[in-house]
Structure 1
Amino acid sequence: MNEGVGVPGSETIQRSNDVLIGALVLMVGFSALTSKDDTLATLTTLLAFSGVYYWGALVLELRAQWRTLIWLLALVGLWVVLLPMQPLAVYLVFPLYFLFLTVMPDFRGVTAVLGATVVAIMNQYPAFTPGGVLGPALAALVTIAIFFAFRRLWLAHVERENLLQELLSTRHQLIATEREAGMVAERQRIAHEIHDTLAQGLSSIQMLLHVAEKDVASAHPDQAILRIQQARATAAENLSEARAMIAALQPAGLAGNSLEAALQRVAASAQNVAAKVVVEGESRALPMRVEATLLRIAQGAMGNVVKHAQAGRAQITLTFAPEEVRLDVVDDGVGFDPAGVDKHAAGLGHIGLEAMRSRVAEVGGVFTVESAPGEGAAVSVAIPLLDCNR
């Protein structure tokens, strides 16, 4: 049966109800076969009850739609017909309680449960017994109490989940806004730096060369040479300024160091983890943004190893290939389910994975994570160098 409401365990409860219906039908059928009553009529009605129930269980939805309500009425009608034929048919009221409350989770469902309870009790007339009266009555009350308690807990859970999603969405928006503001501020800072250094220097060079051009035209070669020398000095200063700006944009770990040396420091800084760095292939200089990306990935991956993996050993492998460079960070920790981490909103553990994936995508690379609970983890990055050099 298609569930009307996505409540955890509702499918299991429905399957249990299917099994309960089947068991009760078999019990009533066996009782009919061993009794001297109208066995054929009882079995025919019982078969009709089973057929109607399981047809609806496969086709209909558990919600208050007209087809489902007609189906419920048909089941109740067949059950009422069965009651005078076979006394044990009264037990079929218990799975009907569940159907009433699931299809109509309000006063209508409660009314239907109470009405079915009255029918089950009155079926014993005139030979009422304490057990025959208290059994259906107590079962009805317990079913109603459990159902609505469970439903209330579920609605509270849904409300908390929705609130959490709203909070996380707001947090993501704030992070995006702060990131954008930071990028704008950084662009403005770089623009000011370029204006105050490179642009001014280029303007001076242009002016000096223009004056030198006039000096040559007016037969003053000595002054022209002086202007050209001044222009060269200004160009040298601009080159120095440009290199300083580029160095300022590099990660601190790469300032004056090779990528391999920076990775060695990342491994050495991993607390309580025996980490080492392995370099494969012919080492060579890489574009600055590629080195920066690889260093950031190594830092983030080792940060997760230290914080989450409970690992004893880890290895950072840097592989130089003709057309790409690879970085692998492997640990022997507790591992995790990558699919489960992807479903978490940022901020609920392994928060760096999505940031790593985005950072690698910016340089045209491929980011993969391989892990399983109890089997450690491997973070791998492959960046094509041809694309980066274009």
Structure 2
Amino acid sequence: MNTSAYRGVRPLLAGADRLETWLHIAFVVLTITSTWRYLDGHGLSDRGPWVLGGALLLVGVYASYRLLPAPVWCGVLVVVWIGLTALAPSFSWCAVPLAFVALRVLPYAVAYVVVAAMVVTVVVSWSAMSDTVDPTVIAGPIAIAVLAVGAYRALDVQATERQRLLDELHEAQGELAEAQHRAGVVAERARLSREIHDSVAQGLSSINLLLQAADQDWEARPAAAREHVSQAAITARDGLDEVRRVVRDLAPAELSAGGDLPAAVQRVTDEATRDRGRASVRVHGEPAVLPDPVGTALLRTTRGALANVVEHADASHVVVSLTYQPDSVTLDVRDDGRGFDPTASSPAGQPARGRGLAGIRARVEELGGSLAVESAPGDGTALAVSIPLNAPTQGRMS
């Protein structure tokens, strides 16, 4: 049935798609039955030709539902039916499928008026055949119409509410997906911030210190100056490789080059503390193959902690300890430098000293680990990181 004329206005039974087939069948069967009943009782004499012609016209109008706009088609159909029912009250039975047609294709306010007109037609037609007033002829059609329209109106309200809830659910799902996307973006930016701090920033800091040392030794100790410059070039190349690997979200160069974690920690320690005091690396327990995120986190924690020692601690000795346990691995970095108060904030008007400890803590906590820092002014600093093995979060790259 063509409902294009009322597009955007929800009919009462707009969602009952299978009802259309049953309406077709019921209407045709009742029209044929009503025509047969009249002709069987009255033949073709008197009103017979008009009834037969009206029945054919009624079926023809009904069959043209795809050719006319729904309201026009329904109006013509009801007018033809009213005229036919005035000639032969037997066609009153066709009011049942016609009422459903009106409920299906018309907005409910208009459908109420049409159904009411049809009820009046049925009551008048059946009452005209009797010399007395039959209350059931009046009350019956009215009661059936009220119950039918009320029931389907209630169904329509429920369907509308269900659709509203579905729309709200889809909207909430869209908002949730957007919130998850924003959270993912924030998390990724935080991860990249840590990666850049512990790779690019630390590498540039080391290059800066090496070039400063080369400048100081340029005339007095040219050989040492050349060594500093050479080491700065090596650090720059390693930093470039590290940046490329960070972009590809791979492990640090030291680990992906085939070396184990203790050897990588030793190399990082040697590079960070060259010509800046004594440094030693100690390994306790039986070294084991660690998940890539754990090894990456420990190596970058080592680099970040040693960069803090070189830049801030003014230490003469630093010890890096790597301890393997059955269910966890621990990294300790201890120095005998000037120390600091971990609970104190930066002095007013002075910027904080980078975000190394915050980045280390965030990385370790993502893997289910913990960070502890012990320090006091004049007493050096001890940093301890413990990461459990086989934690659920270790599938992610830190």
| TM-score scaled by length of structure 1 | 0.52
Tell me the equivalent position of 2:32: 26
Distance across 2 between alignment mates of 1:156 and 1:204:
70
Distance 1:2 1:115, change over 3 A: closer
Distance across 2 between alignment mates of 1:179 and 1:191:
18
Distance across 2 between alignment mates of 1:8 and 1:198:
69
Q: Match of 2:48, as an amino acid?
A: T
Q: What displacement does 1:148 show?
A: 0.4
Stretches of structure 1 lacking an aligned partner (at least 5 in a row): 63-67, 259-287, 289-390
Aligned length: 243
Distance across 2 between alignment mates of 1:43 and 1:197:
99
Distance 1:55 1:251, change over 3 A: farther
Q: What displacement does 1:133 show?
A: 3.5
SS of residue in 1 equivalent to 2:21: helix
Tell me the equivalent position of 2:67: 59
Distance across 2 between alignment mates of 1:74 and 1:31:
24
Q: What displacement does 1:144 show?
A: 0.9
Q: What displacement does 1:44 show?
A: 1.2
Does the 8 A contact of 2:2 with 2:69 survive in 1?
yes
Tell me the equivalent position of 1:370: none
Distance across 1 between alignment mates of 2:86 and 2:170:
54
Structure ID, larger Rg: 2
Q: What displacement does 1:31 show?
A: 2.4
Tell me the equivalent position of 1:49: 58
Tell me the equivalent position of 1:189: 194
Does residue 108 (structure 1) correspond to residue 74 (structure 2)? The answer is no
For each residue in 1:236-264, what CA deviation from the matched residue of structure 2 results, as whole angstroms up to 9, or x when unmatched?
56667777885894489xx8799xxxxxx
Tell me the equivalent position of 2:309: none
Worse-matched range after superposition: 200-209 or 86-95: 200-209
Does the 8 A contact of 1:42 with 1:85 survive in 2?
yes
Tell me the equivalent position of 1:39: 48
Distance across 2 between alignment mates of 1:251 and 1:158:
50
Q: What displacement does 1:18 show?
A: 1.9
Does the 8 A contact of 1:94 with 1:139 survive in 2?
no
Tell me the equivalent position of 1:2: 2
Distance 1:201 1:2, change over 3 A: farther
Does the 8 A contact of 1:82 with 1:89 survive in 2?
yes
For each residue in 1:336-381, what CA deviation from the matched residue of structure 2 results, as whole angstroms up to 9, or x when unmatched?
xxxxxxxxxxxxxxxxxxxxxxxxxxxxxxxxxxxxxxxxxxxxxx
Distance across 2 between alignment mates of 1:148 and 1:82:
29
Q: Match of 1:118, as an amino acid?
A: V
Q: Match of 1:176, as an amino acid?
A: H
Q: What displacement does 1:117 show?
A: 0.7
Q: How does 1:197-208 map to 2 (within 5 A)?
A: 197-204=202-209
Percent identity over paired residues: 15
Aligned with residue 178 of structure 1, among 178, 183, 191: 183
Q: How does 1:331-346 map to 2 (within 5 A)?
A: none
Distance across 1 between alignment mates of 2:200 and 2:251:
23
Distance across 2 between alignment mates of 1:204 and 1:88:
107
Worse-matched range after superposition: 173-182 or 228-237: 228-237
Q: What displacement does 1:105 show?
A: 3.3
Aligned with residue 125 of structure 1, among 124, 127, 138: 127
Distance 1:164 1:105, change over 3 A: same
Q: What displacement does 1:110 show?
A: 1.8
Stretches of structure 2 lacking an aligned partner (at least 5 in a row): 259-291, 293-398
Aligned with residue 156 of structure 1, among 155, 158, 161: 161
Aligned with residue 92 of structure 1, among 72, 87, 94: 94
Q: Match of 1:111, as an amino acid?
A: V
Q: What displacement does 1:28 show?
A: 2.1
Distance 1:137 1:147, change over 3 A: same
Q: What displacement does 1:114 show?
A: 2.0
Distance across 2 between alignment mates of 1:61 and 1:11:
18
Distance across 2 between alignment mates of 1:131 and 1:249:
83
Distance 1:185 1:109, change over 3 A: same
Does the 8 A contact of 1:46 with 1:82 survive in 2?
yes
SS of residue in 1 equivalent to 2:41: coil
For each residue in 1:151-174, what CA deviation from the matched residue of structure 2 results, as whole angstroms up to 9, or x when unmatched?
101110111012112212221221
| Structure possessing the higher relative contact order (Cα contacts under 8 Å, 6 or more residues apart) | 2
